[in-house]
Structure 1
């Protein structure tokens, strides 16, 4: 059984290492060293996550709970903990300093136990599982008690990484790309095989254990599984319709609906619905569940679609209305009558036990049309036209806009379904100013009449290799005082630390940001800044996997320069 101290020591070495190749080698050594039972836990831990992305388990620890646990463990007050946070700027360093001070004689750093007791990796994970299951009255106290147990059981080497894992922000620079390559190196499996296994399972922990047990052959046999959602295929903005048609010739044209993505898993009469964030929303959408039961004629299937909220005249309602349906936990049937949804299905990834993601789009659409019975205003396969006629495409585009939707999708008819990938096989055309989906990583308290509100928000893009979020600027326009009040309440549970007016936030909330242009900048770690950014929407339907990558910003910057 591997001690958590060994994991912490490995993290310390990785944290001090520069260069992705050296980091990959260190992660590979760590993965190879732990037991089969520990491997999936370590695979997720080293990326700063406790549970796989598809899991419904959430640790649910915010700054308030963490500070309270550190206060109880150290004998310091919560106010003293907050002051240390302001000094260190790091919750891990704060934990080490707070527990090291031991100002009131509180028992810390394993003094409750004999020297023979060492926290194991699995024991830490099991405590986090217990924390995630705490609910109802007394849940906050239970979370604090379990964190306190971990802090009081840990050594100085361990406690900082326990604190960071509790808020799922390990800060050692290891992302999916490094872990993917480390699995390949540790268990002698080709990187492309590991990548495909991850694409099909959305779980690098599962891929790692499979690689350790059965090597390349076993990983190659990993497949889609009902009730385990996969990442959804993504689209990028088309530079021009002319350029797109020049690249792919004939294109499959569909409306881009003004709605929210839904992934549908059907296993007999058992229906599961997942949001773009891969959250189980089945109980919130009973009308969609019943529609799938009635109109999808398949023993088993995994489908991709868009749910649209419709008004009395058949036009799409505001995006926030859709989110009301997705978030609703009580009185869902009355809300369904108040805000009816139409499900537009546009792809199928699995049918009657067969994986279809490698089939071309035209074949998948044929199979989709064969198993979904259209029912207007309830469920339907969205209309698709394959053409190379630019005038015809523009007509479809105009029709989509007239109907109140966002624009059109332009797809390569021969393309496979690539989970989580954003490439040239799926493109979108919209008339609005270009937008970016960026994660909020910080804020500042406002001035004057906005003193009690978080008045501006720091934005970041994603570096998939390191897993880090790189700052690209701040947004302080596009929202009302009412929204600022709502945002302040929303982000209060995500505060990691404060220093003066500046606040560091747990990366979780996605802002859709419009801007005038992307500029080179030495002020931000990404190397880029947005000119005149403004808030368009809060994308509650999107997850951290949807955050724009640094590579995407680089592409957009180059394209912008080519146009000018």
Structure 2
């Protein structure tokens, strides 16, 4: 497959806001792929993540390696994939020169359009709209299989390229061959915002109501004599959390996969700031581990002693959870009355947590999906939005990047949709941090602001939304203020424009 075909499909996807048109462009390209290997490579490139992952090439290196473009297109997708494998494997003495030579040869053989594509791909900035949901639909269309079969296989495989390869090579039978595998993380099930506690409890009855902890999502796997710990983005952090590894290793079972949250507590038992918990995920320093111990609270069990539980209802998974990790469960109540649900919510808030999650006891574990079977209820609305730009401050904030431009995710894969601005909630520490951090994500700047590529997600509290013609989304946030930044989330996990519009007064 010529690389130019991949670049053309990427351009077509980026030019349209139509989900159908995106799916058509992507599925058309997959139809033209010759063999499973080309399918994997094309899906990896169009999703913005090469099969080799990050190959350690930065802007400066790429700029130095990028000379005059080739006059005609000669590169193939497979050839580029092989070059990236060589780049990723170059190490040791003399590797810098080898990597530079490989890059110069690759970029020198690329046309101008291919150079732009490769630079975006290698720097993680390829955001033309081939988001997971769109790509999954394209795979289903190209393979002529049900979307549900593709989504389930993706949930279990954890990778779009492998899912696409199976779908186009073996159809439904190959997709059904994916199973939960110990030490291969499963995409987490997500909760949708609930309008009120009373409505959520009524809609999902019979249900469970649990604390919504202000912690970091974790998934732990135990089996084969070892323990693995993963974040919500499926990044392994086992080496950074020895206290969690020790605790899970001691659970009364041979093999288990648990979903939950972890956080650090103050001396009086209240949750420490989210950023402090997250700081542990990148550190293996013994002194930091000792100073900031993490505790886990589990709320779901996906596997126990050889039995996969994804398709079992929550009531059954809950029984297995209590058997495996009974002393480390998120506080909650089963089938509560309205009064019991209110009491639990008040207790959660009094303990310093965010609110509660209401879960249908009949629901299966829908990994990677934000369905209505789980609904989170908080005392104030919060949204995870993408920072589009930051304006230079005035007065006391002169010299600092301050007022944030906020965007919601386009579920059809287009660029984030602006829904408002805010400078409220920004502490001196956050002002300092974003002034230092934002230039690393800069796309361009003017006299008033630094504009960012979609990279930074911030949690925003708000009193509601209102209809507005001021912003492209036709809605505006009311009394928005910064709660915290979310380094555990990517722009692909930000709140959608549909979620924002759902907060409009009925």
Counterpart for residue 7 of structure 2: 8
TM-score under structure 1 length normalisation: 0.82
Decide which moves more: 340-349 or 147-156.
147-156
Counterpart for residue 493 of structure 2: 546
Conserved? CA contact 1:276–1:543, under 8 Å: no
Q: What is the RMSD computed on CA atoms of the aligned residues?
A: 2.9
Counterpart for residue 505 of structure 1: 452
Secondary structure at the residue paired with 1:365? helix
Conserved? CA contact 1:73–1:148, under 8 Å: yes
Q: What pairs up with 1:363-382 in 2 under 5 angstroms? A: 363-372=316-325, 374=327, 380-382=328-330
2:234 matches 1:273: no
Counterpart for residue 294 of structure 2: 341
Decide which moves more: 318-327 or 493-502.
493-502
Secondary structure at the residue paired with 2:503? helix
Q: What pairs up with 1:345-360 in 2 under 5 angstroms? A: 345-360=298-313
Distance in 1 (CA, whole Å) between partners of 2:480 and 2:204 is 33
Q: What pairs up with 1:62-101 in 2 under 5 angstroms? A: 65-66=58-59, 69-70=62-63, 73-74=66-67
Conserved? CA contact 2:62–2:119, under 8 Å: no
Q: Kindly state the Cα deviation for residue 523 of structure 1 after the two structures are TM-superposed.
A: 3.6
Q: Kindly state the Cα deviation for residue 538 of structure 1 after the two structures are TM-superposed.
A: 1.0
Q: Kindly state the Cα deviation for residue 182 of structure 1 after the two structures are TM-superposed.
A: 1.7
Conserved? CA contact 1:175–1:468, under 8 Å: no
Q: Kindly state the Cα deviation for residue 168 of structure 1 after the two structures are TM-superposed.
A: 3.1
Secondary structure at the residue paired with 2:66? helix
Q: Kindly state the Cα deviation for residue 409 of structure 1 after the two structures are TM-superposed.
A: 2.0
Secondary structure at the residue paired with 1:484? helix
Q: 1:521 to 1:148 in 2, by over 3 A?
A: farther
Distance in 2 (CA, whole Å) between partners of 1:16 and 1:411 is 39
| Structure 1 spans left out of the alignment, 5+ residues | 75-107, 375-379
Q: Kindly state the Cα deviation for residue 67 of structure 1 after the two structures are TM-superposed.
A: 5.4
Task: Work out the number of aligned pairs and report it.
Answer: 505
Q: Kindly state the Cα deviation for residue 487 of structure 1 after the two structures are TM-superposed.
A: 1.4
Counterpart for residue 473 of structure 2: 526
Conserved? CA contact 2:14–2:414, under 8 Å: no
Secondary structure at the residue paired with 2:437? helix
The one of 410, 413, 418 equivalent to 1:463 is 410
2:452 matches 1:492: no
Q: 1:43 to 1:18 in 2, by over 3 A?
A: same
Q: Kindly state the Cα deviation for residue 512 of structure 1 after the two structures are TM-superposed.
A: 0.5
Q: What pairs up with 1:358-507 in 2 under 5 angstroms? A: 358-372=311-325, 374=327, 380-431=328-379, 433-447=380-394, 450=397, 452-466=399-413, 468-507=415-454
2:202 matches 1:246: yes
Q: 1:546 to 1:10 in 2, by over 3 A?
A: closer
Conserved? CA contact 2:65–2:107, under 8 Å: no
2:37 matches 1:58: no
Q: 1:219 to 1:72 in 2, by over 3 A?
A: closer
Conserved? CA contact 2:464–2:478, under 8 Å: yes
Distance in 1 (CA, whole Å) between partners of 2:93 and 2:241 is 27
TM-score under structure 2 length normalisation: 0.90
Counterpart for residue 110 of structure 2: 154
Secondary structure at the residue paired with 1:463? coil
Conserved? CA contact 2:387–2:452, under 8 Å: yes
Distance in 1 (CA, whole Å) between partners of 2:248 and 2:17 is 50
Secondary structure at the residue paired with 1:350? strand
Counterpart for residue 69 of structure 2: 109
Conserved? CA contact 2:5–2:29, under 8 Å: no
Counterpart for residue 90 of structure 1: none
